[in-house]
Amino acid sequence: MKAMKDSSGLYEVERRARHAERPGFRISELQIGPTQRVPWHSHTSVQDTFYVLEGRLRLFLRDPKEEIDLEPGGTYTVRPGRPHLVTNAGETSATFLVLQGIGEYDYVPLA
């Protein structure tokens, strides 16, 4: 698949906000419902650092295959190029921050 600069139209979330952005770094907040997910994707140059504010997240990762559960206060960093899928692991909404950098952001959708 082709890398793109904006993934906001590719998947539905309850809420999305950008808290900070400067060249090479940004902080976004997402809220996903119990049946929502951020589809499989990777980033060419930036790492994603997830920080859970409310609810529970489950991250599925490839290369190597791994499954990570996060609760409020939990954090996990996904290195550049590593495929990952983000799901809500609970029965209520999950709110989390994603710190992305350092480098040019892109979103590479995967099957």
Domain tally, the chain: 1
Answer yes or no: is 9 within a domain.
no
Q: What is the mean pLDDT of the chain?
A: 94
Question: What is the spatial distance between Cα 71 and Cα 47, in angstroms, rounded to a whole number?
Answer: 20
Residue 6 lies in a domain: no
Domain assignment present for residue 3? The answer is no
> Does residue 104 belong to any structural domain of this protein?
yes
Q: Which CATH number do you get for residue 44?
A: 2.60.120.10
Contact 26, 105 (CB under 8 A): yes
Flag whether pLDDT at 10 surpasses 90. Answer: no
This prediction has a pTM of 0.92
The DSSP 8-state label assigned to residue 92 in this structure reads S
pLDDT digits (tens, 9 = 90+) for 31-85: 999 999 999 999 999 999 999 999 999 999 999 999 999 999 999 999 999 999 9
Task: For residue 23, tell me if it sits in a domain.
Answer: yes
5: in domain: no
Exposed/middle/buried for residue 22 (C-beta within 10 Å: 0-12, 13-18, 19+)? exposed
- Which H helix or E strand runs over 84? strand 84-88
In a domain, 10, yes or no: no
Residue 22 lies in a domain: yes
Residues of the domain holding 87: 15-109
CA 39 – CA 33 distance, rounded (Å): 14
